Amino acid sequence: MTTVDPAPAPPMRLRELVFGAACAAAVRAAARLGVADALGDTPMTVEDLAAAVKTQPRTLRRLLRALSCQGVFTEQPDGTFAHTEMSRLLREDDPHSLRYIALWCTEPWTWDVWPKLDEAVRSGRNVFEDVYEREFFTYLNEDAPESAHVFNRAMTTSSKQSAQDVADLLDLGDVSCVADIGGGQGHVLASLLEKHPTLNGALLDLPGVVENADPRLRDGGALSPRVRVVAGDCREDIPVQADVYIIKNILEWDDESTRRALANVRKAARPGARVVVIENLVDDTPSMRFTTAMDLLLLLNVGGAKHTRQSMVDRLTDAGLVIGEIRPVNAYLHAFECTVPA
């Protein structure tokens, strides 16, 4: 049975940290092999699990042993393996599944850019373009369709899990039209339209994203009569007029892209329109280890950053928006309520 030192001494802790890639790779392997999906509520032998996921029993045991040390799966006294709260999150059918988040954070390109973090820190810009000679999203959509699919599924997972929280937060009782800018497949918009039966909406995102919009929003969907789906890049233009513009978790690019997106919102919006910016703040979160790691990954791939409360305020103010209340959406997200001045 696997045992874990609950409080390793600093020299061993540092050794563990520099082997962090092994832990990430083990989670990725389990997700790609479908181990969590194959394991049900009853503990299973390694031999049965190996047969289910088409691996060698001896090497699968080594993978499970490494993961059990991290609390992902647990080894029983009889040598069988069972689920833990974390391993269940790798199941595709779990309502709080993080399977695609785990895959996204360990995609093949990540292993090429992480070793160049010192270069990114030294220069202050992304290194992705040095490695692949393409802008990040161009590379994803044109050269790495499987990785783009994983990204879209990961963003869908995140959006679905926070959509109801956003709908519960926003007061749209006197609003006739809301626009979700860079809204992915439109789960936040769909939740808002379902809550407010007289509300109309618009969803804007890249063509390859909106073509897979939530079925409720597409032609023939229950909400489609009240929705306009627009294919476009908010950094280039926002051909949408609305009473409320929602911008959720997209202002993490490089500063120039963020500036352009906010300038386009300001250009599109009528005076008095509301702009609600929703972000995961690096200085106001219970998950600093995850958030700071994502902050570094954003530096590597797009030259972007997770925002602090003050950096978000600065960018919104620079865009000419008037900031009102700043409120928590849930434990991880904050909403900046802004208006467009006359």
Instruction: Kindly indicate the confidence band of residue 2, based on its pLDDT and cuts at 50, 70 and 90.
Output: low
Q: Which pLDDT belongs to residue 29?
A: 98
Angle between helix 46-53 and helix 57-68 axes, rounded to 10 deg: 110
Mean pLDDT, residues 22-46 taken together: 98
| Residues sharing a CB contact under 8 Å with residue 71, sequence separation 6 or more, in sequence order | 84, 86
- Token pair belonging to 312: 């978000």
| 77 sits in which H/E element | none
- Token pair belonging to 208: 């390859």
Instruction: Kindly indicate the confidence band of residue 285, based on its pLDDT and cuts at 50, 70 and 90.
Output: confident
Of the candidates 113, 111, 160, the residue with the CA atom closest to the CA atom of residue 134: 113
Pairwise CA distance, residues 159 & 166, whole Å: 10
Instruction: Kindly indicate the confidence band of residue 4, based on its pLDDT and cuts at 50, 70 and 90.
Output: low
Determine the 3-state secondary structure of 208 from DSSP: helix
Instruction: Kindly indicate the confidence band of residue 8, based on its pLDDT and cuts at 50, 70 and 90.
Output: confident
Q: Are 307 and 279 in contact (CB under 8 A)?
A: yes
Answer yes or no: is pLDDT of 328 > 80. Answer: yes
How many Cα atoms occupy the beta-carbon half-sphere of 117 within 13 Å?
Answer: 10
Q: Which pLDDT belongs to residue 337?
A: 98
- Taking the chain, what is the end-to-end CA distance rounded to the nearest angstrom? 68
Determine the 3-state secondary structure of 54 from DSSP: coil
pTM for the model: 0.87
| 300 sits in which H/E element | helix 288-302
Instruction: Kindly indicate the confidence band of residue 160, based on its pLDDT and cuts at 50, 70 and 90.
Output: confident
Percent of the chain surpassing pLDDT 70: 99
| 334 sits in which H/E element | strand 334-339
Angle between helix 145-169 and helix 136-143 axes, rounded to 10 deg: 120
Cα 227 to Cα 55, 202, 219, 240, 249: the distances in Å are 47, 5, 9, 12, 21
Q: Which residue has the tokens 């042993």?
A: 65
- Token pair belonging to 16: 């563990």
Q: Is 184 exposed, middle or buried (0-12, 13-18, 19+ CB in 10 A)?
A: buried
Q: Which pLDDT belongs to residue 82?
A: 98
Mean pLDDT, residues 180-194 taken together: 95
DSSP 117-170: HHHHHHHSS-SHHHHHSS-HHHHHHHH-HHHHHHHHHHHHHHHHHHHHHHHHH-
Q: Which pLDDT belongs to residue 3?
A: 63
Q: Are 1 and 75 in contact (CB under 8 A)?
A: yes
Q: Which pLDDT belongs to residue 5?
A: 64
Q: Which residue has the tokens 């709260």?
A: 85
Q: Are 247 and 182 in contact (CB under 8 A)?
A: yes
Percent of the chain surpassing pLDDT 90: 85
Q: Which pLDDT belongs to residue 287?
A: 83
Answer yes or no: is pLDDT of 7 > 80. Answer: no
Mean pLDDT, residues 99-106 taken together: 97
Answer yes or no: is pLDDT of 152 > 90. Answer: no
Q: Is 15 exposed, middle or buried (0-12, 13-18, 19+ CB in 10 A)?
A: exposed
Task: Give the count of beta carbons closer than 10 Å to the beta carbon of residue 316.
Answer: 21
